[in-house]
Amino acid sequence: MPVAGLTITLAADEALASNAITEMSSQHEIVLGRVDGRYMAAVMDTPSPSRSRDLHGWIESLAGVDYLDVVYVGFDPDPPDAPAPQPPISSTLPSP
């Protein structure tokens, strides 16, 4: 699951910026952080790289967003209920 740390530069128009924040907060894959002037931190946690790209484009298209900077990209490890990885075959063979 791709996780991206974002810095969002909001529009100078406070009404547009407020509308963009409202729209972004409606997306369960986006966690909005503190707003400092026109800058807002956010985290985007999506199920796939393609969804991440789609959501990135959607954020950029909002009228209240002037710029979107990706400051971090990472991938979550497998969920806790995922099966454990199997050891390499060479480690399961008896030593000669």
Span of 16-25, 66-75, 80-89 with lowest mean pLDDT: 80-89
pTM of the model: 0.74
Boundaries of every domain in the chain: 2-75
Rounded to whole angstroms, the Cα distance separating 39 from 8 reads 6
pLDDT at residue 74, rounded to an integer: 80
Fold of 2-75: Alpha-Beta Plaits (3.30.70)
Higher pLDDT, 76 or 70: 70
Q: Give me the chain's average pLDDT, please.
A: 84
The predicted structure's pLDDT at residue 48: 86
- Residues β-bridged to residue 23: none
